[in-house]
Chain A
C-alpha cells in the first residue's frame, strides 16, 4: 500500500517571514533609551538631601564649637583662679552655694595708635 501523503507536495512558504520576524524582534528589544534618566535623578535627589542636611550639620558644628568654648572657659588654671582676657567678668547670683555665675563681655579691640 502506498503512503497517500506522498501525493501532498512540499510547499514553499511565502517569502518575507524572517525579515518580518527580525523587525518584530527589534521592536520588542529596543535599546535602553532614557537609561541616563535614573542615574541623573538619583544624583539630583542625593544633592537635594545633602543641601537639606547642610544647615543641620552647620548647627551641629556650631553647637560643638560652643561646647568647646564653654569647656575652655570652665577649665580653671593651675592657680584655681579663672582669668578673662580681652574682656570683663561680672559675678551674678546663682541661688546655689556651689555654683558661681559670671557675665562675660568682650572688650572692644584697642584703637590703633594715630599715625605719626
Chain B
C-alpha cells in the first residue's frame, strides 16, 4: 500500500525535533541538518509505493543517519571541516564545558555516537534504536555501555565532576 502524504507529514512533525538534535551532534551545522531531514523525507516520498506506515519512523532514522554519514564522508574526502556554530540554546551554557563535550562526541566512533544520541534525543527504546541502526537489541545495549564509558574517559569525568 502506497504511503499517504498526510502520514509522511505527521511523521515529519513527530520526528523533526529529535532528528535535528541527533543530526546536529553529528554534523554540527544547522543548515546541513535541515538538508538531511528534508532529503530523507523526500527520498521516502519518492519510494512511497514501497514504504509501509508501520515501519516509516525506523526508515526515517535509518535514511537520515545514512545521509549524515555520507555528508561526513564527503567532508573527509574534501578535507572540509566547517566551524561548528553554537546554536542559540547552547549559548547560555558554559562554553568551555560544551566545547569539551562536543570534542568528546566528535572523538567517539560514529556507531558509538549514534547509539548515545538516539537514546538521549531520539526518544527511542532499545528495540527501536536497533531497528533504526539495523543491529540487534543486545548490540545496542553493549554498544551504549561501551560508548558511555569511552565518552566519560574522553571527558575525564573523574577530574571534571
A interface list, Cβ under 8 A from B:
1-14, 17-18, 20-22, 24-25, 28-29
Tell me, yes or no, whether B51 is within 8 Å of chain A by CB: no
Pairwise interchain contact A17-B24, C-beta atoms closer than 8 A: no
> What's the Cα separation between A9 and B88 when bound, in Å?
10
> What's the Cα separation between A13 and B157 when bound, in Å?
30
Pairwise interchain contact B42-A21, C-beta atoms closer than 8 A: yes
Pairwise interchain contact B38-A21, C-beta atoms closer than 8 A: yes
8 Å CB interface, B86-126 against A: 87, 89-90, 93, 97-98, 101, 104, 116-117, 120-121
Q: CB-CB < 8 A to B46: which residues of A?
A: 28
Pairwise interchain contact B157-A1, C-beta atoms closer than 8 A: yes
Pairwise interchain contact A9-B90, C-beta atoms closer than 8 A: yes
Pairwise interchain contact A7-B34, C-beta atoms closer than 8 A: no
The number of A-B residue pairs with CB atoms under 8 Å apart is 82
Pairwise interchain contact A13-B34, C-beta atoms closer than 8 A: yes
Q: CB-CB < 8 A to B41: which residues of A?
A: 21
A-B contact pairs, 5 of them (CB 8 A): A4-B155, A4-B157, A7-B93, A11-B87, A25-B8
Instruction: Please name the residue on chain A nearest to B17 by beta carbon.
Output: A13
Instruction: Please name the residue on chain B nearest to A10 by beta carbon.
Output: B21
Pairwise interchain contact A7-B21, C-beta atoms closer than 8 A: no
**Lowest 7 A-B CB distances belong to which pairs?**
A13-B20, A5-B120, A9-B89, A11-B89, A11-B21, A21-B41, A11-B87
Instruction: Please name the residue on chain A nearest to B20 by beta carbon.
Output: A13
8 Å CB interface, B143-161 against A: 148, 151-152, 155, 157, 161
> What's the Cα separation between A29 and B19 when bound, in Å?
25
Binary CB contact string for chain B from 45 to 60 against chain A (1 if under 8 A, 0 otherwise): 1100000000000000
A1's contact among B13, B19, B93, B152, by CB below 8 Å, is which? B152
Q: CB-CB < 8 A to A25: which residues of B?
A: 5, 8, 42, 45
Q: CB-CB < 8 A to A28: which residues of B?
A: 42, 45-46
Tell me, yes or no, whether B9 is within 8 Å of chain A by CB: yes
Tell me, yes or no, whether B62 is within 8 Å of chain A by CB: no
A17's contact among B5, B16, B21, B101, by CB below 8 Å, is which? B16
